[in-house]
Chains A and B, each alone.
Chain A
Amino acid sequence: MHRTTGRSAIFAGLAIASVALLTACGTTSAGGGGGEEATELGDYEGSVSILAWPGYVEDGSNDPTVDWVSAFEDETGCQVTSKTYGTSDEAFTLMKTGDYDVVAASGDASLRLVASGEVAPVNTDLLKNYDGIFDFLKMKSWNSVDGVSYGIPHGYGANLLMYNTDVFTTPPTSWDVVFDKSSEYAGKVTAYDSPIYIADAAVYLMAHNPELGIENPYALDETQLAAAVDLLKAQRANVGEYWSDYLKEIQAFETGDSVVGTTWQVIQNSVTTGNTDVVLPEEGTTGWSDTWMISSQAKSPNCAYAWLDYIASPEANAQATAYFGEAPSSQAACDFRDDCESYHAGDADYASKIWYWSTPIADCLDGRTDVECTDYSAWTTAWSEIKG
């Protein structure tokens, strides 16, 4: 009897302790603005910590020939520590720790970072390389809020339609080969494995079902989302596999397990069998445009500004974007690259066909006020249901 009470006391104690612990570290209050923008720069702090997509911050440790960090360190004396992340959501969670001075965020994370006060406004007057950046990348909905800039553009790319040239004797010009006509390629269609892919279906519906009234693929009300979900559920029957790891898609196209589907330019460049090609379909497409942002809790704001300026400088930007496989942010960077053409860098017409990733939020991004839009969590739920 005595022993039992002793043991249950231990358990009760543990349970209470764990509850207390969890409640204590459960939530931190979210600020609104995210600090003031800097008006002038001071001395370098000697170090800067950076959170970025893989391949954005290379110091030669992965490949000795790929290194644009050392030059920055020599120039400014700011020692760089970097961490990479795999998804925008991981970046969002990591930024909440406050351990990073700088983050490279895609459009599906940047607005959330601003809203939760994790990043501070960026005074672009302090960045001398800001002027050279393509105008169609500046002050967009994914890198500014209410006319305040929250970062400097890095690089951009489009989600393209890749097809196997053995199967397609005439190149497709429309996304219909993965949607309405996908049954012809049943089991060999591939698609990007993320809720944000719903926007690809919305882009298709914008062109083919104008009566739905979709103005922006990231601003879908209930009916519009339902239509996109129906389209994707029909596609699901013919999908061989979804991809999120780009190496997986390269292999699937090389073996012929996938013959048509959405892709990135870098994947087309990496396929070795030579029987694939890519096209930007007539409906337009989705894409990404990444932004370097500064944490509102940055411990080294001066080094952070120095990094933003450095990574936007033509040579560093050319190295970084070429390594990742996307278009650079300025024309001058193309002087340091020989493949700008294949990425259509600076082609404003091409860029205008791209709907850059943005976080879907309840306040419709297209400006509608009479209806509430579906937010990212609704998209996530819908995506799970589509996959079934």
Chain B
Amino acid sequence: MASSPSIERAVVPRPRETTARKISVFLSQHARVRLAFLLSAPLFWLGLVYIVALVSLLITAFWSVDSFTGEVSTQFTLDNVITVVTGSLYQAVTLRTVGVALLVTIVDIVIALPIAFFMAKVAGPRLQRILVIAVLMPLWASYLVKAYAWRSVLSQGGIFEWLVRPFGGESPGYGLPATIITLAYLWLPYVILPIYAGLERVPNSLLEASSDLGAKTGRTLRTIVLPMLWPAIIAGSIFSFSLSLGDYITVNIVGGANQLLGNLVYTNVGAANNLPLAAAIALIPIGIMIVYLTAARRTGALENL
């Protein structure tokens, strides 16, 4: 059987020249057009939702409003921004808001660290899954339901008072402490999850090696776990800090007579019908978040996310 192998050309039938085929050929030859089509939908969305919204906010802050007819006048003016920057009311409320947001963030991190550590390093796989579900469970309930639940917990003769009375304590009542407690509760899952994910990435072998080399628990945590966990903590803090910064519903429900930046924006949009001033006030949290994110970037936390 020494016949030379017959070379058979596999004949691929030429595809029919449909319109779809033509478009497809055109796109495969023109990479830039293809890219443009792929990007246009997300870019349109990004542009509409973020850029236009932000730009319109920025522009509105430089307008003013006719106090009686409520018409917005599009004359350029710096009045609103000057009022917001120099007014003692806005300075006081800004300080209060930042203070609340910082305390909420600290409380959340302090609570989240041991919980996340237990979930990631101590609990078995089965318990771990149950704990993740347990942490996520509160997110299934409405924000309002949770805030109103805290309102009744912290009220006079509520559960909180019933719990601490035997130890001589009493409910903080409605006010800033109640606001901090409620916000810390609301944002806790958002802080636990990134820290838990961060701890999952810390290899157990490192902890064992550290202990083999004679490091005690404290030293291992300080020099091995914490530096590796830092980006996760920053990520969690961004959630709790930014969410607290913009909140106005919780403080309305449990905050007593206090107001935060969100409330000022809300009253200026609603009660006062002064959109330009509201826009100017809304620039404050945006400014704070830019500073916060820049600082977080400096620590190198954002690169490791």
Contact = CB atoms under 8 A, between A and B. Distances in A.
Interface stretch (B52-60, B107-115, B229-237): B52-60
B55 A115 contact: no
A180 interface: no
A209 B32 CA distance: 77
B72 interface: yes
5 contacts: A18-B55, A23-B74, A112-B68, A112-B70, A251-B151
Nearest to A375: B67
A239 interface: yes
A239 B258 CA distance: 10
A147 interface: no
B55 A26 contact: no
Contacts of B74: 23, 26-27
Interface string A9-46: 01100110011011100111010000000000000000
Contacts of B151: 251
B213 interface: no
A248 interface: yes
A256 interface: yes
Interface string A238-250: 0111100000100
Contact of A90 (B43, B47, B157, B270): B270
Nearest to B67: A377
Given A27-B74, A384-B89, A387-B257, A89 B52 contact: no
A151 to B, nearest CB: 19
B156 interface: yes
A187 B255 CA distance: 12
Contacts of A23: 74
B271 interface: yes
B94 to A, nearest CB: 12
A241 B71 CA distance: 32
Interface of B: 43, 47, 51-52, 55-56, 59-60, 63, 65, 67-74, 89, 92-93, 151-152, 155-158, 173-174, 253, 255-259, 264, 267-268, 270-274
A41 B47 CA distance: 50
A97 interface: no
Nearest to A363: B68
The winner among A19, A115, A256, A380 for most chain B CB atoms within 10 A is: A380
B272 A380 contact: yes
A374 to B, nearest CB: 10
A130 B29 CA distance: 77
Contacts of A21: 52
A383 B257 CA distance: 12
The winner among A14, A93, A359 for most chain B CB atoms within 10 A is: A14
Interface in A89-113: 89-90, 92-93, 96, 112
A87 B270 contact: yes
Contacts of A384: 89, 259, 264, 267
B174 A19 contact: no
